[in-house]
Structure 1
């Protein structure tokens, strides 16, 4: 079982949450200009990273608010949790670095 720390409600059991997919996927600037293939890629193609991965979660069993988490997909360890609209507190997902950029960021 994973203990997820909701930024609004505090630590709760993972059964209170629902996974919402990859975080920070930008909406197309002009969706009407996309071909069917490009639109399909936007809707359905996501990274499948082994290691640190930014994800969206919703606290359905509590405050019902969305937030982001950086989770290691190999170990399930949550490296950081942050509110929607905030930048990831993990310095670089691409480099594989697992330390948060600020003290106390690891959950």
Structure 2
């Protein structure tokens, strides 16, 4: 599988580390354990199909990317810099 890094071009998967699905979940308030913290840390979606994931290009430019790919077929539809914000 190849990921199209916006800065480096088409690169091999081995240069990247996946960090999980891009979610709208925000960090809960406070520092004491709560159901909100439990949900934030442990309860994650595992969607089958097209999704957006956060990847780190540690073997290249060190950029954080949002990669649009299908988790079933592993087809990659594109990638953008995470610093560009939500789209």
TM class by smaller structure: 0.7 to 0.9
Pick one of 27, 39, 42 that aligns with 1:41.
39
Aligned partner of 1:86 in structure 2 is: 85
1:56 aligns to what? 54
What runs of 5+ residues in structure 1 fail to find an aligned partner?
Answer: 89-107
Which structure: greater strand fraction? Answer: 2
TM-score by length of 2: 0.85
Work out the number of aligned pairs and report it.
Answer: 86
61, 65, 72: which is aligned to 2:70? 72
TM-score under structure 1 normalisation?
A: 0.70
Aligned match of 2:12: 13
The answer on whether the counterparts of 2:22 and 2:53 sit within 8 Å (CA) in structure 1 is: yes
Which whole-Å CA distance do the structure 1 matches of 2:43 and 2:80 have between them? 24
| 8 Å contact from structure 2 (residues 4, 78) kept in 1 | no
Query: Contact 2:6–2:79 (CA<8 Å) still a contact in 1?
Result: yes
For 2:31 and 2:63, the matched residues in 1 are separated by 32
Deviation of 1:80 (Å): 2.2
